[in-house]
Structure 1
C-alpha cells in the first residue's frame, strides 16, 4: 500500500517555485549505457526549462547537479557499482530536499528512494529500464524449469517493491504488460526519445570510411551499445562471418563480452554524441540482436540518422520496428539473420530510411520530455495521467492518429 504524503510537502497548483527532481540509479559508469544517456539528456533539458531543479544521485556521478552515491564495484558489469547501505543512501537523498524522487533501478537505491520519500512526504516514482526477470534467468542459466523458477522469484520481488511507488513508468508496451501481469496497477507507458536534430541524415560523412580504413564498397553494419550477454553479439558476429565480403560489423561500445570474428572490428565507447551520430549516419545499416531490450535508444538514434535498422522481433525493439520503421528478425539463428541482412541490401532502402526517420521524429526528446514533465507536475500536485491523457501519447509515438480531427 502506498503511504499518503505528508501535508507539509504538498504543493498548490499555482506554486511557481522550482520543483526539485532527484533521480537515483546504480546504472551509471564511465562507459555510458541507456539509463545514463536518458538521465544526462533529461538533466540538460530540465536545466533549460524554467521551474525545475534536477539532481542525479548515482555511483561516480560528479559535477554541478550530480551527487556520487558511492558503492561496491560489480565484477563483469562494465563498470557499475552497487550502493549497499540503504539507510545511509536514504539519508543522503532526504538531505537533497527533493519535491519528487525517481528511482532508476530496483535494488538498494530503489528502496532508499522509497524510504526518503516516505520520510519527506514526497511522491516517488520508478522507471523500469530493464527486464530484470529475464536478465536474472539468463544470468543463472540452467534448464528451462530452473530459469522459469528464477523468473517467478524475481517477478515476486519486483512486484513487492514496485507496489509501494506512486507511479511506475516503463518505456514499451511489452514492459508495461509484463509489470501489470505481476499484479501492479500503477504502471504507465513512457517512451524514451532521441535528439532528432543532432542525430540526422546530414551527419553522413564519407571521411568516416577513410578514417576507419574501410573501402567505399564495404557494407558497413554498425552496433553501438554495451557489450553484454543480452545483446547477443556472437549471433551478429557469426551472421556477418557467413555473409563474408564485403560485409563488416563495426561494434562501438564497452563491456565484458565484445564480439569477435574475421569480419568484426571494435571501437571503444564513444562519449561524444556528435561523433556517434556521424558514425550512425555513415553506416549502411544498424544491427541489434538483443531480445530483452525495454526500448532501444541506439536503434532509434540510427533511425533518426536515416540509417536502416535490423533488429530482433522481441520486446521494445519489435515495437520500434512497427510500421516498416525497421526490419525485425523473429529468430536467434545466425542463418536467418544472414538472410535478413542480405535481403535488406537487395531492395530499395529508401522506404526504410523514411519510415525510420519519421519514427524518430515522433520520439524527439522535446515532445517526450514535455510529457514526462507533465507527469512529474501531476504527481507533485497529487494526481496522475489517466484515461486518454495516459494512452494517447503512446498511440502518437506508434504513428496512430490521436484525435478525432486526425481520424481517431
Structure 2
C-alpha cells in the first residue's frame, strides 16, 4: 500500500502539521511494510527517496508575507507526480489548487478499476482564521475610532466573506471520500462548511520525549532565568493568527516586582516586531524555531507555565506537548483549547483580553507545580500516543478503500451532502 500527503504546510520551521506528517512517515516506516509519498511546494523540482519514503518538491513561488511557505501553482505537476508514484490514498493538507489534481488522479485510477481514496484533514480553519477573523480585526481595530458605522459594516463584511469561504471550501471537502478532524469541536466546525460524517483522529505526542524529567537548570541559566524565577513559554508560529503579540502585552502588565520571563519560540512574519519589543525588556526572549526535538523538549520542560492567545487552534498540539512536559496552561476560551485545558491544570479567559490573562496567570501561580503534575497525568490517561492515532487513521483508510468501488465514476463518493444548517 502506498500513502500520500499533499500539503503546503511543510517547511523547515513548520509546527503541528509537519510533526503529524513526520510521525506518520515514522509509523509507516517502522510499523508497516507500506510506502509513503510526500508532495510539497519547493524552491525547485526535486525528488528524494529514503527506503520506502519518498519526498517530491514542486517548484512554487513564496507566499508574500508568509515566508518560507510557498503555494502550489502548477496542478499539472502535482497530477504528474501522483500518476508516476501511484499512491492508493491521498490525504489533502492544502485546500486550494492541489485538491483538484488529486480528484482527477482518483477518477482516472477508479476508471481503471483501482480502489483509490482522497481524504482531507481539517488542520486549519481557513475560512475563519484567514478570511473572516482578519477582516473583522482590521475594521474593528482600524475603524472603530473613526466611525462605529464603518466598523459595523466591516464586521458584516467579514461574516459575508467567511460564509463565502466556507461554501467554497465545503464544495471541495464534499468531493473527498473521508474528512478527518482532531476533535469533536472541529468536526462540528466542518459541519459549518456543509460536511457531515467527519471522523475523529486525535493527534499524538511522543510521551517519552516530552516529559517533566527533562527539566534543566542549565537550560534556564542560559536564558538568565533563576530557579525561583517564573518562566512563561509559547511555542508556535509568530503570526497574527496566533495572536502572539498579546503575550508581550500580558508580560508588560505582570507585576514588576516578580521575576517573570517570557520565551517565544518559533518563526513567522511578526518576528521583527516581537524582537523590537523584546529589546525593551531584559526578560523577553524571542528564540528561533528549534529543529532539535530533544532540545525543544528540554526547553519546554524547563519552563513553569505555557501561555497561548491564539483562538483558532484545531487541536493544540504544542499545548498537549506542554502538558506532557508537566506545565499548566493559560490560554483563551476558543477553538480546541476548550477541549485541551481544564481547571485542574489551567485557565482559559476571553479572547484578546490581556488583563484577564494576567489575572489567570497570577491566580494559578501558587499551584503551578501541582497543576503541572495534573496536566501530565491527564495526557497519560488520555492516551495521547502517536501509535494510537495512526492505528485509528489507517483503520479508516482501509475501510474507505474497501468502499471505494461504490463511488460513482465522476469521483463523488456516496457521502451525505446536506446544506449548511445555517442557510436552511
Q: Same fold (TM over 0.5)?
A: yes
Whether 1:246 aligns to 2:259 is yes
| Conserved? CA contact 2:210–2:321, under 8 Å | yes
Structure 2 equivalent of residue 100 of structure 1:
89
SS at match of 1:59: strand
Alignment of 1:7-406 (within 5 A): 19-60=1-42, 63-64=48-49, 65-121=54-110, 122-134=116-128, 135-140=130-135, 141-142=138-139, 143-243=154-254, 244=256, 245-258=258-271, 259=274, 260-261=277-278, 262=281, 263-322=283-342, 324-347=344-367, 349-360=369-380, 362-382=383-403
Distance change in 2, residues 1:376/1:325 (3 Å): farther
Q: Deviations over 1:245-301 (max 9, x none)?
A: 411110010000133342421010001111110011000011111001111111111
Q: Within 2, Cα distance between the matches of 1:357 and 1:270?
A: 26
| Conserved? CA contact 2:330–2:361, under 8 Å | yes
| Conserved? CA contact 1:326–1:356, under 8 Å | no
Distance change in 2, residues 1:246/1:66 (3 Å): same
Size of the aligned set, in residue pairs, is 365
Deviation at 1:138, TM superposition (A): 3.1
Q: Deviations over 1:112-164 (max 9, x none)?
A: 22222222221110111101111212344432111101111101101111100
Distance change in 2, residues 1:145/1:370 (3 Å): same
Structure 1 equivalent of residue 144 of structure 2:
none
Q: Deviations over 1:86-110 (max 9, x none)?
A: 2231121222111111011111122
SS at match of 1:347: helix
Larger relative contact order (Cα-Cα within 8 Å, sequence gap ≥ 6)? 2
Distance change in 2, residues 1:232/1:348 (3 Å): closer
Q: Within 2, Cα distance between the matches of 1:356 and 1:370?
A: 23
Q: Deviations over 1:42-92 (max 9, x none)?
A: 111110012321111112386432111221110111311111122231121
Q: Within 1, Cα distance between the matches of 2:371 and 2:250?
A: 24
Q: Within 2, Cα distance between the matches of 1:209 and 1:349?
A: 17
- TM-score, length of structure 2 as denominator length: 0.82
Deviation at 1:215, TM superposition (A): 2.2
Q: Deviations over 1:350-376 (max 9, x none)?
A: 144223442255211121111112111
Which moved further from structure 2: 77-86 or 274-283?
A: 77-86
Structure 1 equivalent of residue 113 of structure 2:
none
